């Protein structure tokens, strides 16, 4: 098992979180043997943080991600939240990006979160702020920006300060729907959400911007899957050029949970 890994066997509900296997000034890297251990450890850590907030009146806002490991993470959160009686009903849920498809479509990032996290834990509809992929991308981005700025506190730069943003990482190092080679107007955009054209299907998407990711109190990257070794290596390099590398340079600290062998 790689350094820092935690194994979650059958019946395991909660274990102490591992020390990072690698720490640099702007990121901490937690390594795991497989995606199940990764999802379980991240779920446990998140629930610990939510439990510590009980009794606070301040709103809590998180942005969820899509992808295969995100589905495992949602299921792990649900199992552990039920076992520990930790409600998520007080949290506000946003999304880092969405494909321009209906919410019931197999390509939707909202659909797995609804099925494996929000519905099983009874999160009220007024706490769920999905990106409306079924309407025009410009309108969806405008509506989503107004909604997130209504809930989350704003920083001096006019960006909402989310408590936590979850990100995946693609084989090219993309995060949310911020891909390598994005035009300057995307990279420099101050809009919280913006419509983009992705180099992979479905091409029409809505994504959170780099500035909003940089403004978040915490960013957790769930980087999992074969074929991503080079992307992770380049992202962690001091001169890396991937979108994840850009995120790391923009932030004081980012947590990376991975089962990828560098």
- Residue 214: predicted pLDDT: 97
Q: Show the tokens assigned to 121.
A: 């834990």
* Of 255, 225, 146, 152, nearest in space to 191 by CA: 146
Name residue, tokens 């980012």: 254
Read off the pLDDT of residues 177-211 as tens digits, 9 standing for 90 and up: 999 999 999 999 999 999 999 999 999 999 999 99
pLDDT at 90: 87
| pLDDT digits 0-9 by tens, 146-168 | 999 999 999 999 999 999 999 99
Q: What is the pLDDT of residue 261?
A: 77
DSSP the chain: --TT-----TT----PPPPPSEEETTEEEEE-SSHHHHHHHHHHHHHHHHHHTTT--S-EEEEE--SHHHHHHHHHHHHHHHHHT---TTEEEEESEEESS-TTSTT-SHHHHIIIIITTTT--GGGB----TTS-HHHHHHHHHHHHHHHS-B-TTS-B--SEEEEE--TT--BTTB-TT--HHHHT---SEEEEE-SSSS-EEEEE-HHHHHHSS-EEEEE-STT-HHHHHHHHSTT--SHHHHHHHH-S-EEEEE----
CA distances from 139 to 23, 134, 230 (A): 41, 10, 36
What pLDDT shows up at residue 8?
25
User: What is the C-alpha to C-alpha distance for residues 188 and 100, in angstroms, rounded to an integer?
Assistant: 22
pLDDT of residue 59: 87
The pLDDT score that the predictor gives to residue 55 is 76
- Do 15 and 44 meet the contact criterion of CB atoms below 8 Å apart? yes
Which domains are delineated in the chain?
Answer: 59-224 (3.40.50.1360)
Regions of the chain short of the pLDDT cut 70: 1-23, 262
């Amino acid at each position: 098992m790689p350094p820092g890994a935690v194994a979650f066997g059958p019946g395991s509900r909660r274990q102490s979180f591992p020390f990072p296997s690698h720490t640099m000034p702007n990121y901490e890297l937690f390594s795991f043997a497989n995606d199940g251990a990764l999802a379980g450890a991240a779920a446990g850590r998140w629930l610990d943080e939510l439990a510590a907030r009980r009794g606070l009146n301040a709103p809590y806002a998180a942005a969820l991600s899509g992808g295969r490991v995100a589905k495992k993470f949602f299921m792990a959160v649900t199992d552990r939240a039920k076992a520990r009686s930790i409600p998520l009903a007080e949290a506000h849920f946003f999304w880092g990006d969405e494909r321009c498809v209906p919410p019931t479509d197999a390509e939707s990032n909202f659909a797995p979160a609804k099925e494996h996290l929000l519905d099983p834990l009874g999160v009220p509809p007024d706490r769920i702020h999905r990106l409306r992929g079924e309407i025009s991308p410009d309108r969806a981005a405008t509506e989503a920006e107004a909604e997130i700025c209504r809930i989350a506190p704003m920083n001096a730069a006019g960006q909402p300060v989310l408590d936590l943003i979850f990100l995946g990482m693609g084989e090219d190092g993309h995060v949310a729907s911020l891909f390598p080679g994005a035009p300057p107007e995307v990279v420099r955009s101050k809009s919280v959400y913006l419509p983009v054209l992705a180099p992979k299907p479905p091409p029409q998407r809505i994504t959170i911007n780099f500035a909003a990711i940089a403004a978040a109190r915490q960013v957790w990257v769930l980087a999992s899957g074969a074929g991503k070794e080079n992307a992770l290596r380049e992202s962690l390099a001091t001169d890396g050029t991937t979108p994840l590398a850009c995120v790391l340079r923009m932030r004081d600290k980012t947590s990376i949970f991975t089962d990828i062998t560098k």
